[in-house]
Structure 1
Amino acid sequence: MVKVSVVIPVYNVEDFLGECLDSISNQTLKDIEIICVNDGSKDKSLEILNEYAARDERFTVIDQENGGHAVATNRGMKLATGKYIFFMDSDDILELTALEDTYNLAEEKQVDFVIFQAINYYMDTGKLVEAENYSMNALADFVGDSVFKWSDIKDYIFKITVTPWSKLYNREFIMKNNIIYPEGLVFDDNVFFFETLFAAERITFLRKHLFKRRWYSSSSTTSGAKHFTNYIQICDLIWQTFFRYGVFDEFKEELLFKKFRTNFYWYRLIKTEFKQLFLDMLREDYQRIASDEKFKEYIVSNLTDPQKLIFEGVLKFKNYKDFNVLYKQYRLLLDQENLIKTYEKEKQLNEELLSSSSWKATSGLRSLRHSLK
């Protein structure tokens, strides 16, 4: 059995694929297999994969008709034979010690998966920029080098990046729990993450930035394409996961907030030609929520004014142009809320400073300095 199976779904990434494959084939951990699933690429991606496979026997190349990220990844998982499995994005870069570092830690701690840090690599500027969503420093501070499960980190489960490429998974753990990516949808990693999180008994964190997340203007996450509507269905699948593990009621506030916040993040980014479709799908989703007495009661008593405004607006306005007028008002209210929160936070900090012993102890010096002016 090889130590790590690397699964790489590939679709039209000829400009970045070589750098990605170099970062995998040159890993300091040599006992790996590299399973590349070409998902109907129309560029030279398959040719590049075959070139690497011709000179490195650890490569296996599968060519299939386009079925989407989940279909390609699930197929790669079925072929994997390693003790651990790593899911690589075909346009990103893995640090050369990443698999060795995470494998050794997984073996030492005997965990279901290892979480590690990533960093943004902006193509336009060539800069590496750390962001909390990929660094997860708050979680790292809390767990240290311990072994934990989801119930130990309840305040942090929505602060962990869902991306599969920031984890090394025990393959037997994945197989035993029958966890796969939901097919036919983008953002499928959201569902996969929460399935693994709730199923895992032993998790650990490695505080190292081992992955470079490439950002560029033609990325699928910035395209504004029709598939942005998929997140509405993804939210439903996430909710189903929480229901299945019996923890929905415990996290319903965060789940509702996530639904509102993320749906409208994608609505803002989707191209104009798809906004009507997005609004129609969202209305159908919100009508289901509004018809459930449990959620209706929660919405009335717990949603903020901007959230209530947008919830009612989705149900009321049938035309996206009419809804957009309301959406602009929603954005203004959010900005006002953020300003108030910032003001209140600064006010609290000032009050804490003024009441601190160090501030009081230096009052005489400040009075003297003032009198000498």
Structure 2
Amino acid sequence: MVKVSVVIPVYNVEDFLGECLDSICNQTLEDIEIICVNDGSKDKSLEILNEYASRDKRMTVIDQENGGHAVATNRGMKLATGKYIFFMDSDDILELTALEDTYKVAEERDVDFVIFQAINYYMDTGKLVEAENYSMNELADDVGDSVFNWKDIKKHVFNITVTPWSKLYNREFVMKNSIIYPEGLVFDDNVFFFETLFAADRITFLRKHLFKRRWYSSSSTTSGAKHFANYIKICDLIWQTFFKYGVFDEFKDELLIKKFKTNFHWYMNIRPFYKQMFLDDLREDYQRIASDDEFRKYIEKDMTSLQKLLFDGVLKYENRHDFDVLFKKFRLLEKQEKLKEKYENAKQLNEELLNSSSWKATENLRSFMHKLR
């Protein structure tokens, strides 16, 4: 049995694929297998894959008609034979010691998966920029080198990046729990992550930036394409996962906030041509959940006035241009709320300063300095 299986779904990434494969083929951990699934690429990706495979016998290339990221990844996962499995994005870069570092930690601590850090690589500037969503420093501070599960890190559950390429999974753990990527949808890694999180008994964190996440203008997460609307369905699947593991009630408030916040994030960033479609899908989803008595209680009791403004707006406005007017109002009110909060915080700090002993102790000096002006 090889130590690590690397699964790489590939689709139209000829400009970046070579650098990705170099970072895998040259890993310091040599006992690996590399399973590349070409998902119907129309560029030279398959040619590049075959060229690398001819030089590295550890690499297997599968060519299939386009079925999407999840279909390609699930197929690669079925073919994997390693003790651990790593899911690589075909346009990103893995540090050369990453598999060796994470494998050692996984073995030493006997875990279901290892979480590690990543860093943003911006193509336009060539800069590496650390971001909290991929560094997860607050989680790292809390868990250190310990072994934990979701019950130990409840406050961090929604602050762990869902990306599969920041984890090394025990393959038997994944297979035993029948965890796969939901097919036919973008953002499928969200569901896979929460499945593994709640199924795992033993997780650990490695505080090393071992992955470079490439950002460029045509990236699928920045394109504003039609598939942004997939997140509506993904939210439903996430909810189903929380129900499956009996933890929905415990995280209900966070799930509702995440649903609203993320859906409107993608609505704001989707291309104008697709906004009407997105709004129609969102309304259908909200009509369904609004008919639930338990959810209606939440709306009446816990939903903020701004959240309710948008929720009611989705149900009320069928034309996306009318809804956009409301959405702009929401954004302005949201900014107003944040400014008000900053003002109140500044006011409180000022009062604390005026009442502090240091302020009173310097009263005579301040009076003297004022007279000199």
TM-score normalised by structure 1 residue count:
0.96
Aligned residue number for residue 360 of structure 1: 357
Q: Distance in 1 between matches of 2:311 and 2:249?
A: 20
- Residues 300-337 of structure 1: CA distance to partner in whole angstroms, max 9, x if unpaired? 11111111000000001111111111111111122122
Q: Distance in 1 between matches of 2:353 and 2:87?
A: 47
Shift of 1:353: 5.9
Q: Distance in 2 between matches of 1:61 and 1:258?
A: 38
- Residues 17-62 of structure 1: CA distance to partner in whole angstroms, max 9, x if unpaired? 1111111111111111111000000000000011110000111100
Q: Distance in 2 between matches of 1:21 and 1:10?
A: 11
Shift of 1:139: 0.6
TM-score normalised by structure 2 residue count:
0.96
Number of positions where the alignment pairs a residue of Structure 1 with one of Structure 2? 370
Shift of 1:361: 4.9
- Which moved further from structure 2: 342-351 or 143-152? 342-351
Aligned residue number for residue 277 of structure 2: 277
Shift of 1:289: 1.2
Where does 1:189-338 land on structure 2 (aligned, <5 Å)? 189-338=189-338
Structure 2's unaligned 5+ residue stretches are none
Q: Distance in 2 between matches of 1:362 and 1:341?
A: 25
Aligned residue number for residue 119 of structure 1: 119
Aligned residue number for residue 64 of structure 1: 64
Shift of 1:363: 5.1
Q: Distance in 2 between matches of 1:226 and 1:47?
A: 29
Aligned residue number for residue 16 of structure 1: 16
Structure 1's unaligned 5+ residue stretches are none
Cα 1:363–1:11 shift into 2, 3 Å: same
- Residues 148-194 of structure 1: CA distance to partner in whole angstroms, max 9, x if unpaired? 00011110000000000000000000000000000000000000000
- Which moved further from structure 2: 332-341 or 34-43? 332-341
Q: Distance in 1 between matches of 2:177 and 2:121?
A: 34
Q: Distance in 2 between matches of 1:19 and 1:349?
A: 51
Aligned residue number for residue 341 of structure 1: 341
Where does 1:120-199 land on structure 2 (aligned, <5 Å)? 120-199=120-199
Shift of 1:110: 0.3
Letter in 2 for 1:61: V
Q: Distance in 2 between matches of 1:179 and 1:266?
A: 26
Letter in 1 for 2:22: D
Q: CA RMSD in A?
A: 1.5
Shift of 1:347: 4.3
Cα 1:333–1:102 shift into 2, 3 Å: same
- Residues 247-303 of structure 1: CA distance to partner in whole angstroms, max 9, x if unpaired? 111111000000100001000111111111111110010001110010011011111
Q: Distance in 2 between matches of 1:208 and 1:170?
A: 19
Shift of 1:344: 3.6
